[in-house]
Chains A and B, each alone.
Chain A
Amino acid sequence: MATASDFNPFQSAPKGENTFAQITDNVTRIMEAPRPPRAWYIAFGVALSMLLVFFGSLGWVVWNGIGSWGTTMPAAWAFPIVNFVFWIGIGHAGTLISAILFLLRQNWRTAINRFAEAMTIFAVMCAGVFPGVHIGRPWLPYYMMPIPNQMDMWPQFRSPLEWDIFAVSTYATVSILFWYMGMIPDFATFRDRSTSTAKRLAYGIVAMGWRGSSRQWHRYERAYLILAAIATPLVLSVHSVVSFDFATAQLPGWHTTIFPPYFVAGAIFGGFAMVVTLAVPARQFFGLKRIITIRHLELMNKVMIATGLMVGYSYGMEFFIAWYSGNSYEGFTFVNRAFGQYAWAYWTMISCNVIIPQLFWFKKVRTNVWATLVIGMLINVGMWFERFVIICTSLTRDFLPASWGYFIPTKIDFMTLGGSFGLFFTLFLLFCRYLPMVAMSEVKAFSPAGGHARPHLHHGHDDAAHAHH
């Protein structure tokens, strides 16, 4: 691939010094600082209060039953499932960056992959809470796992909801393994730079005694490649399986074959929007501007144009097929989406997901940090509304007009949705403070002195030795 040599993410870094040490300093400084920047405390305070709201409202729902949400027939899925699909989608960008871009040798990913992976894990955790509580008796989710129970019954493996259990829990497990494995060498750096015994012990335990042996690096790189190759079809499968929850149902607006690719494209679109939403403040507050550069943000914005167009195409194609199929229920559903009682949600979705991202065609917009941040946030809003539109319009306007209705969320609905951001940001801020936010070993390998990103790379020894000087 030409990209590796065409593009140098470190073009803004000063040349001629030992960039390895600079990279280490840049990343470990956050952990070594006696106290994080004031912005971190403010953000952490806000996130922690939102987390309390989350736990409080969930406790309320568990104690009083899920009737505390506005979730009721005919909109039996409503907010909890909208939030589930929204969060699980967010995670996809992290795996895409860490696995797919790795296989495609997009070396710019090294600056952002670590915290994109962290984002994946925290998003999957937020996602998992909602179906867990929505089942009504959150102390019985083990019924969904194939473990012997007092009923002497097994899960029903032909149900897409059961596939979902396996897909999401596999996704969470593999993401955590991948994330952890990537961090082992960086934990070792943290261990060796730690000054207090407690830190040394803690980072030492998670670093597992990594000492950078080349014989270990060999197996490590192989394992990383295998995990990337495994995670690639996995990330494509997870949102496909989530879309099966809808696509295998008979409901107009859900029962369509376009759902798996449409959901995956939307997930990556929304996930990248979340990555830039997190990357912009993180590089600002933690002094990572030399590692996460404007070029990185611009490339992510380009990914967003591409996936945003795919999502827009899917919206259009759904309409076309609804008309082309000649199915009157399908036709009604889509006209109802655009002009019915949820038109306000539909046009919010179209504006945020299809119209506004077109601004990224302008170089000035996509290289502007604050424009990127605002558009990224708007895309997050749009992607939340996409799931809301899919779930609520179809459920409240099904085949039988007698069972039509209108979903009205309660205060608790908004508190759990808002609170889930509290969980997400609390975990993310703790991650920024205590874990290696950037994959130092990978960034070093792809830095100009590291040798991996040299132009005209050959395996011959002499070439490799000369190309550096």
Chain B
Amino acid sequence: MSDDHKPKAASTAPELHGILAEYDTPDQLLNAARKVRGAGFEKWDTYSPFPVHGIDDAMGIKMTVLPWITLCAGLTGLGSAILMQWWMNAHDYPWLISGKPLWSIPANVPIMFELTVLFSAITTLVGMLMLNGLPHPSHPLDLVKRFARVTDDKFFLMIQASDSKFDEKDTRDLIDATHPVAVESVMEDRVTAENFPPALVYGLIVVTCGALVPVALAVKARHSKSDKPRIHLIQDMDAQPKYKAQRENSIFADGRADREALPGTVPVGHLNEDDHFFRGRAQGGWARTFPAQVDLSEETMARGKERFGIYCTPCHGQSGAGDGMVHKRAEALAQGGWIQPSNMTQEYVRNQPVGELFNTISNGVRNMPAYAAQIPPEDRWAIIMYVRALQRSQAGTLDDVPESERGSVK
């Protein structure tokens, strides 16, 4: 605009933007458009409440480039989906699911399709708006009162004054020849930018800066060190309304959350009075016999063998020689500090009373942990029974072999 730098004066005549013609029907508009196009104008347009059929031909509007933009966006979406799924599931964090291949097209097709559609759709709308120059808040036509009916039932045509072929009188004559309902001169709108309320501008600036504060705080939090834990808005199960062992509890005089058993009380099922059966002790020393509760039978032996296989063989081995898998593994690692499990068939173990063996299983010895929590007492006794059998088998002499078979052993 040429008069931008001129001092504002009420007497300044508004500059002509163009000449506007109004029509009642789409057909009048089509005829007018053909005439204006025939006259060779370039900066002109028609306006209608709906897309008028045939107006593209009448005005000579070329096919828009929009479909090609959409195609590119769709291909970008497809490529992004392929790259994203490959990179996330097969490369950056290889994720094996039910033995399926890390990267196989069929399982990734749905998301490829969805992202193709998503990218195309967003680009189509945004592309249409951008090619159309929207949003377009202010326009000289807004000053023309009758033009408001363009979104209702009227049809308009405007030739801009900036067109090289524009001549105020000739153009007016051309438009009159198209039999419009009304013709009007459209003036440039010089008011809008100047009248934009400064309070609104400053308000927008303040709001925008204010909106950046939380973002700035988040960025600062991510790039600074603190001895306090990060703010954790939702605690999930981190905070549970209960007392844990060793915690403080002001309700009780001693301030402890976990309570000791009251003197003289025993939890149900924990009386364990029988020293022989529960602790392997009799007559002030290690018991030398099995307690009465243990049934010295074939079944108990089988039970003992099975339990031995589960709890003892990992370290002591199948024969009790102290050469189990754990030992072999420790030897292979050769990291030092490993003490070989005892060979339970050697003489000093053979000579231990059954009560002492029971104590060893229950409470552990040297490197061996206590098994009282895992193996109930009757099973411990069954294991000892089996261990006794193992020891016997490893300490056999020729005298143990039946006389008829001795020949084959020699």
Please give the residue numbers on chain A whose beta carbons come within 8 Å of chain B beta carbons, in ascending order: 18, 20-21, 24, 137, 139, 146, 152-160, 162-163, 166-167, 170, 173-174, 177-178, 180-181, 185, 188-189, 191-193, 204, 208-223, 226-227, 230-231, 233-234, 237, 241, 244, 440-442, 444-445, 449-452, 457, 459, 461, 464-465, 468
Q: Within 8 Å of chain A (Cβ to Cβ): is B221?
A: no
Contacts of A441 in B (CB 8 A): 49-51
Among B45, B85, B122, B128, the residue within 8 A (CB) of A219 is B128
Q: A213-B47, A223-B125 are in contact. Are A185 and B151 (CB under 8 A)?
A: yes
Contact with A along B203-215 (1 / 0, CB 8 A): 0000000000000
Which has the most chain B C-beta neighbours within 10 Å: A20, A158, A181? Answer: A158
Chain B residues with CB under 8 Å of A461's CB are: 30, 34, 54, 57-58
| Residues of chain A with a CB closer than 8 A to B148's CB | 192-193
Q: Please state if B53 and A233 are interface contacts (CB–CB under 8 Å).
A: no
Contacts of B153 in A (CB 8 A): 18, 20-21, 24, 444
Assess the B89–A213 pair: CB atoms within 8 A: no
14 contacts between A and B (CB under 8 A): A153-B93, A158-B97, A166-B115, A173-B118, A209-B134, A217-B55, A219-B128, A222-B66, A230-B121, A442-B50, A445-B53, A450-B50, A450-B53, A459-B54
Bound Cα distance from A237 to B114, whole angstroms: 9
Give B10 Cβ to nearest chain A Cβ, in Å.
25
CA distance A465 to B26 in the complex (A): 9
| Minimum CB distance partner of B51 in chain A | A217
Q: Distance in Å from the Cβ of A121 to the closest Cβ of chain B?
A: 14
B67 at the interface (CB under 8 A from A): yes
Find A170's partner among B25, B100, B117, B149 (CB 8 Å cutoff): B117
Does B248 make an interface contact (CB < 8 A)? Answer: no
In the bound complex, CA of A235 to CA of B136 (Å): 33
Beta-carbon contact of A214 and B52 below 8 Å: yes
Contact B136 A209 (CB under 8 A): yes
Q: Which residues of B contact A465 (CB under 8 A)?
A: 27, 30-31
How many whole Å from B228's CB to the nearest CB in chain A? 17
Who on chain A is nearest to B129 by CB?
A208
Q: CB within 8 A of A220: which of B95, B111, B128?
A: B128
Quick one: CB contact mask for B84-127 with A, threshold 8 Å, 1 for yes? 11001100110101001000100110110111011011101101
Question: Could you tell me the distance in whole angstroms from the C-beta of A391 to the nearest C-beta in chain B?
Answer: 21
New contact pairs (7) apart from A170-B121, A231-B121, A465-B30, CB-CB < 8 Å: A137-B236, A153-B93, A192-B149, A209-B136, A217-B50, A220-B51, A452-B53
How long is the Cα–Cα vector from A461 to B32 in the complex, in angstroms? Answer: 12
In the complex, which residues of chain B have a beta carbon less than 8 angstroms from the beta carbon of A216? Answer: 132, 134
A219 and B131 form a contact (CB under 8 A): yes
Which residue of chain B is the closest to A446 with respect to CB atoms? B50
Q: Binary interface profile of B, 19-58, with partner A (CB < 8 Å = 1, else 0)?
A: 0000001110011011000000000011111111111111
B138 touches A444 (CB 8 A): no
Binding site for A on B (CB under 8 A): 25-27, 30-31, 33-34, 45-59, 61, 63-64, 66-67, 70, 84-85, 88-89, 92-93, 95, 97, 100, 104, 107-108, 110-111, 113-115, 117-118, 120-122, 124-125, 127-129, 131-132, 134-139, 141, 147-153, 233-234, 236
CB proximity of B77 to chain A, nearest CB, Å: 10
Chain A residues closer than 8 Å to B107, beta-carbon distance: 157-158
Give chain B residues whose Cβ lies under 8 Å from the Cβ of A450.
Answer: 26, 50, 53
* A250 CB, min distance to chain B CBs, angstroms: 11
Q: Distance (Å) between the CB of B75 and the closest chain A CB?
A: 13
Q: How far is the CA of A234 from the CA of B115 in the complex (A)?
A: 11
Check A189–B34 contact: CB distance below 8 A.
no
Tell whether, in the assembled complex, residue B46 and residue A464 are in contact, meaning their CB atoms are under 8 Å apart.
no
B139 CB to closest chain A CB, in angstroms?
A: 6
Residues of A within 8 A of B114 (CB): 163, 166-167, 170, 234, 237
Contact between chains at A214 and B135 (CB < 8 Å): no
Give A449 to B154 CA distance when docked, in angstroms: 12
- Chain A residues with Cβ under 8 A from B110's Cβ? 160, 163, 166-167, 237, 241, 244
Minimum distance in angstroms from B149 CB to a CB of chain A? 7
Q: Tell me the dominant secondary structure on chain A's binding face.
A: helix
Complex contact A163–B111 (CB within 8 A) = yes
Query: In the complex, A457→B54 CA distance in Å?
Result: 10
Known A-B contacts A158-B107, A158-B108; A226 and B67 likewise in contact (beta carbons under 8 Å): yes
* CB pair B53 A464 closer than 8 Å: yes
* Chain B residues within an 8 Å CB radius of A210: 134, 151
Contacts A157-B89, A230-B124, A237-B113; A211 near B51 (Cβ below 8 A): no
B88 touches A444 (CB 8 A): no
Q: Determine which of A157, A212, A237 lies in contact with B151 in the assembled complex, contact meaning CB atoms within 8 Å.
A: A212
A residues in contact with B84, CB < 8 Å: 146
Question: Chain A contacts of B49 at CB under 8 A?
Answer: 20, 24, 185, 189, 212, 440-441, 444
Residue pair B64, A468 in contact (C-beta under 8 Å): no
Total A-B Cβ pairs within 8 A: 223
Nearest-neighbour CB distance to chain B for A106, whole angstroms, equals 17
- In the bound complex, do residue A155 and residue B100 qualify as a contact, i.e. CB atoms below 8 Å apart? no
Tell me how far the C-beta of B182 lies from the nearest C-beta in chain A, rounded to whole angstroms.
16
- Interface centre among A21, A153, A166, A459, by most chain B C-beta atoms within 10 angstroms, is A166
CB–CB A218/B51 < 8 A: yes
A18 to B154, CA, bound (A): 10
Please tell me if the beta carbons of A226 and B124 are within 8 angstroms of each other in the complex. yes
What are the residues of chain B within 8 A of A146 when measuring CB–CB?
84, 88
- Interfacial chain B residues near A445, Cβ < 8 Å: 50-51, 53
The residue that A227 contacts in the complex, of B125, B137, B234, with Cβ under 8 A, is B125
Q: Which residues of B contact A156 (CB under 8 A)?
A: 89, 95, 97
Give the residue of A154, A214, A218, A444 whose beta carbon is less than 8 angstroms from that of B95.
A154
Q: Cβ of A174: which chain B residues have Cβ within 8 Å of it? A: 117-118, 121
Q: Is the beta-carbon distance between B100 and A158 smaller than 8 angstroms? A: yes
- Determine whether the beta carbon of A226 is less than 8 Å from that of B132: no
Q: Which 8 residue pairs across A and B have the least CB separation, nearest first?
A: A209-B136, A20-B153, A154-B88, A223-B128, A208-B135, A189-B151, A163-B110, A445-B50
Determine if A230 and B128 form an interchain contact, defined as CB atoms under 8 angstroms apart. Answer: no
Interface centre among B93, B127, B134, B139 (most CB of A within 10 A): B134
Asked whether, in the complex, the Cβ of B152 is within 8 Å of the Cβ of A157, the reply is no
Look across to chain A and name the residue whose beta carbon is closest to the beta carbon of B100.
A158
For the complex formed, measure the closest distance between the CB of A197 and the CB atoms of chain B, giving whole angstroms. Answer: 13
* Inter-subunit contact B93/A152 (CB<8 Å): yes
Please indicate the chain B residues that have their CB under 8 angstroms from the CB of A178 in the complex: 121
B174 to chain A, nearest CB (A): 18
CA distance A227 to B51 in the complex (A): 17
A149 to B89, CA, bound (A): 15
A226 x B70 contact (CB < 8 A):
yes
Report B162 CB to chain A, min CB distance, Å.
16
CB contacts (< 8 Å) of B63 on chain A: these are 222
B152: chain A residues within 8 A (beta carbon) = 20-21, 24, 189, 192-193
A231–B149 Cα distance when bound, in Å, is 32
Known: A154-B89, A185-B50. A214 touches B117 (CB 8 A): no
Residue in B33, B53, B111, B125 whose CB lies within 8 Å of A157? B111
For residue B71, which residue of chain A has the nearest CB?
Answer: A226
Asked whether B138 lies within 8 Å of A209 as measured between CB atoms, the reply is yes
Q: Given A170-B114, A174-B118, does the pair A154, B92 have CB atoms closer than 8 Å?
A: yes
Task: Note all chain B residues with C-beta closer than 8 A to A221.
Answer: 51
A414 to chain B, nearest CB (A): 28
Residues of B within 8 A of A227 (CB): 121, 124-125
| CB-CB nearest in chain A for B109 | A163
Nearest Cβ on chain A to B28's Cβ, whole angstroms: 10
* B139/A211 in contact, CB under 8 A: yes
Question: Given contacts A174-B117, A185-B50, A464-B30, are A209 and B128 in contact (CB under 8 A)?
Answer: no
Q: Are B64 and A219 in contact (CB under 8 A)?
A: yes
Question: Contact check: which of A158, A170, A185, A214 meets B118 at CB < 8 Å?
Answer: A170
A20, A157, A204, A442: which has the most chain B beta carbons within 10 Å?
Answer: A157
